[in-house]
Structure 1
Amino acid sequence: MTENLTGLNATQPAEEAQRNFPALIFGVLLVGAVIGGNVLVCLSVYVEKALKTTTNYFIVSLAFADLLLALLVLPLFVYAEFQGGVWTLSMAMCDGLMTMDVMLCTASIFNLCAISVDRFIAVSIPLNYNRKHVDQRQLVLLSATWLLALAVASPVIFGINNVPNRDPGECKLEDNNYVVYSSVCSFFIPCPIMVLLYFGIFRGLRHWEETRKAKLRSSIEACRKLQHAAIATALPPLAGTIPGPLPMPLPRIIERDLAQSRLDDTGDYIQEFPYPRQYRENSVPTVTFTQLQNSRKRAKINNRERKAMRVLPVVVGCFLFCWTPFFVVHTMRALCLTCNIPPALMSTVTWLGYVNSALNPIIYTIFNTEFKKFFKKCFRSCC
């Protein structure tokens, strides 16, 4: 969200402003990265049937907001930075830029928040969560994301920037009260909500994993006790085996979950689940190859959930790293009129906020196997 595109004295003529070629080069690369990454995200969900899930529809909404930002806002911002921060276009275009900038940056942040809400619902009430089709609750959440973003930007549409003695060499939000209002609505409210929701997701997934393993241990222990008791009263020990009764094989459903647990613990390598040594040495295998393949498929699903736990700090960390400096600096500038904030600092934090739009496709797709397969397929076809 660009509050101020001016890095030099507004009274300095544009033709005397120093051309900022590094900003131009970096801006072109950033625009290309944002467009390329977000187009691939939208295209992959549209083409691949396996990616047509509810969560990915939220990711497409996020990608669409970032894509519009790269098409409608970033080119003008890069042009102004290349001009040394001096605005040389019309005030009407400036107001349009400010409107789209506020709306799309807010929509991007709100979509990040909506994704956290959607994932929290999926973890908290999984039985009532529709993973394949968008239901009414999710449609309301998606619609609210864009309507609230439009509401935050609406004062600019209705002329809050049309103030007396406006400097035509600057393109910024003229009303400091609106700067504070938009910052609170766009960041200082969604940010704590997002952090709390991701913390709840992390705790929910960890609790789910611990509960599943505890149930598996208790099931194995109960079956082992019953089998030992039945064999001890009915059959004598067999010669040539280790002392003690020979356990019968566990029920297929327990063996299946046991195989899944072993795969979950290592990902690719089998790790023995802790249970008695005589069972490991004498048990009769009853898990077929097909069942083992199914266990591996289920294990992959659980591994994705565990990867989601590991990526949560990355998601929150990148979001805070990119957006916190921007909103802190620009809110401080609006509240403290006597504070001397260097133009270079303002420009840097603005660039940093825009970089988040290029990072979003990477963060939300790099840990998804189907997304990675589609991206690799596209790169192979292009090369």
Structure 2
Amino acid sequence: MHSNLTVTSNYTELLPDSHYIFPALVFGILLIVVIICGNLLVCLSVWTEKALKTTTNYFIVSLAVADLLLAVLVLPLFVYSEFQGGVWTLNSVLCDALMTMDVMLCTASIFNLCAISVDRFIAVSIPLNYNRKHIDQRQIILLSTTWIFALAVASPVIFGINHVPDRDPTLCKLEDNNYIIYSSVCSFFIPCPIMLLLYCLMFQGLKKWEEARKTKLKNSMHASMKFQSGHSLPQCPPPAIERDPADVKLKELNCYSHPDCPFPKEYKDGHTQTIALPKLNCVQEPSKKKRAKINGRERKAMKVLPVVVGVFLFCWTPFFVVHITRALCESCDISPELMSIVTWLGYVNSALNPIIYTVFNTEFRNFFRKFLRSCC
């Protein structure tokens, strides 16, 4: 959220009235509670429910941890500063630590959103080689890179970039405009287009997949109708009991499961001996089932994409546009009210993330219902 306390830095003179401070305090406290409760539920559900221990959900837990730490380590001090009318009454070391955590955790939250888009893109591009049950080395590297990059973006603050001459100790903000531009580009203006591109590619891949599936289904129906027009009944081989077992092929056994087969599924001879034919298929059913399962799950993701991208852009774009504009144009007149709105809007995204990535998941919904019923 990069220098979000900058938003309140000028409130001492511009917005000192209690009519602003009290609503901001109430809203901030409620937002902290919602973020903590929502993200704790996400972590608890994946920890306790075996059905939720999937690769994609581990990425969602990483996102929840970033949002949870933001609500615990950053937002309370931000709300405290609002309550003080924008005046920083604590020491500058704590201010720099707060700015570092603020930049790192908000960047980690955005990077985790981007990592989820990468993970889902891989799941659509190479579904048969994608491990959904156990996290592999590729996914561990992706998760680790997310947090390492977030720390790298925030590290200049803790290493002293805020130590400028004539620093005002009553204000807690990012002091270097070049760093504001750098952090904004790294935290938003680079990962955002990447995430949008990956989701667009995933959407196109799922669309082509769906079209290919429909085309294959139409061809199968056409071939079936053509076969039935030329044959009144399927041609089955002689019953297996009348032949040498060594000459019976596995593909022939599947023919007896056809409802129109002239030979019964169970064959009785003159001594009323019964043989039940094994249910074997001529094709590789496991692979077809696996493809169908992945296809169905990823097709559901198409319905979530507009929500994911829309909420992400709605919450983060205004803040970073205003934020980088202030750094590039010091003479531009940006009202404190506008800065306050876009700042809180960015924080709201941390409360919406658990809703976006769990409300569309049946297992998450079932856990939430069960948990709330047991508590309430």
Q: Tell me if TM exceeds 0.5.
A: yes
Q: What amino acid does structure 2 have at the position aligned with 1:327?
A: F
Q: C-alpha distance in 1, partners of 2:38/2:258?
A: 44
Deviation at 1:98, TM superposition (A): 0.2
Q: What amino acid does structure 2 have at the position aligned with 1:211?
A: A
Residue number in structure 2 paired with 1:359: 352
Instruction: Say which one has the larger Rg.
Output: 2
1:92 to 1:254, Cα distance in 2 relative to 1, 3 A = farther
Q: C-alpha distance in 2, partners of 1:71/1:345?
A: 25
Map 1:1-383 → 2, pairs under 5 A: 1-5=1-5, 6-7=7-8, 9=10, 18=18, 20-231=21-232, 304-383=297-376
Single out whichever of 203-212 and 189-198 deviates more from structure 2: 203-212
Q: C-alpha distance in 1, partners of 2:67/2:87?
A: 25
Q: What amino acid does structure 2 have at the position aligned with 1:313?
A: P
Q: What amino acid does structure 2 have at the position aligned with 1:70?
A: A
**% identical aligned pairs:** 72
Residue number in structure 2 paired with 1:275: none
What do the CA deviations read for 1:128-151 (whole angstroms, capped 9, x no partner)? 111111111111100000000000
Deviation at 1:161, TM superposition (A): 0.4
1:198 to 1:175, Cα distance in 2 relative to 1, 3 A = same
Contact 2:52 2:363 in 1 (8 A): yes
Q: CA RMSD in A?
A: 2.8
Deviation at 1:9, TM superposition (A): 4.2
Matched length: 328
1:324 to 1:159, Cα distance in 2 relative to 1, 3 A = same
Residue number in structure 2 paired with 1:237: none
Q: What are structure 2's unaligned runs of at least 5 residues?
A: 236-254, 260-287
Deviation at 1:11, TM superposition (A): 7.2
Q: C-alpha distance in 2, partners of 1:38/1:370?
A: 16
Deviation at 1:17, TM superposition (A): 6.6
What do the CA deviations read for 1:254-287 (whole angstroms, capped 9, x no partner)? 99xxxxxxxxxxxxxxxxxxxxxxxxxxxxxxxx
Q: What amino acid does structure 2 have at the position aligned with 1:65?
A: A
Q: What amino acid does structure 2 have at the position aligned with 1:328?
A: V
Contact 1:10 1:170 in 2 (8 A): no
SS in 2 for 1:179: helix
Q: C-alpha distance in 1, partners of 2:172/2:256?
A: 69
Q: C-alpha distance in 1, partners of 2:8/2:57?
A: 39
SS in 1 for 2:354: helix
Q: C-alpha distance in 1, partners of 2:258/2:51?
A: 29
Deviation at 1:170, TM superposition (A): 1.0
Residue number in structure 2 paired with 1:258: none
Q: What amino acid does structure 2 have at the position aligned with 1:76?
A: L
Q: What are structure 1's unaligned runs of at least 5 residues?
A: 235-250, 256-294
Contact 2:12 2:86 in 1 (8 A): no
Deviation at 1:219, TM superposition (A): 1.0
1:71 to 1:253, Cα distance in 2 relative to 1, 3 A = farther
Q: What amino acid does structure 2 have at the position aligned with 1:215?
A: K
1:146 to 1:176, Cα distance in 2 relative to 1, 3 A = same
Deviation at 1:348, TM superposition (A): 1.1
SS in 1 for 2:88: coil
Deviation at 1:212, TM superposition (A): 1.2
Single out whichever of 318-327 and 296-305 deviates more from structure 2: 296-305
Contact 1:219 1:254 in 2 (8 A): no
Deviation at 1:297, TM superposition (A): 12
Contact 2:177 2:328 in 1 (8 A): yes
Q: C-alpha distance in 1, partners of 2:24/2:30?
A: 10
TM-score by length of 1: 0.80
Q: C-alpha distance in 1, partners of 2:319/2:336?
A: 13
Q: What amino acid does structure 2 have at the position aligned with 1:52?
A: K
Contact 2:2 2:180 in 1 (8 A): no
Deviation at 1:296, TM superposition (A): 12
Q: C-alpha distance in 2, partners of 1:215/1:233?
A: 22
Q: C-alpha distance in 1, partners of 2:366/2:79?
A: 33
Contact 2:121 2:198 in 1 (8 A): yes
Q: C-alpha distance in 2, partners of 1:121/1:358?
A: 27
Q: What amino acid does structure 1 have at the position aligned with 2:362?
A: T
TM-score by length of 2: 0.81
Q: What amino acid does structure 1 have at the position aligned with 2:341?
A: T
Contact 2:121 2:201 in 1 (8 A): yes
What do the CA deviations read for 1:42-70 (whole angstroms, capped 9, x no partner)? 01001111111100000000000000000
1:253 to 1:120, Cα distance in 2 relative to 1, 3 A = farther
SS in 1 for 2:3: coil
What do the CA deviations read for 1:321-374 (whole angstroms, capped 9, x no partner)? 000011000100001011111111111111000000000000000110000000
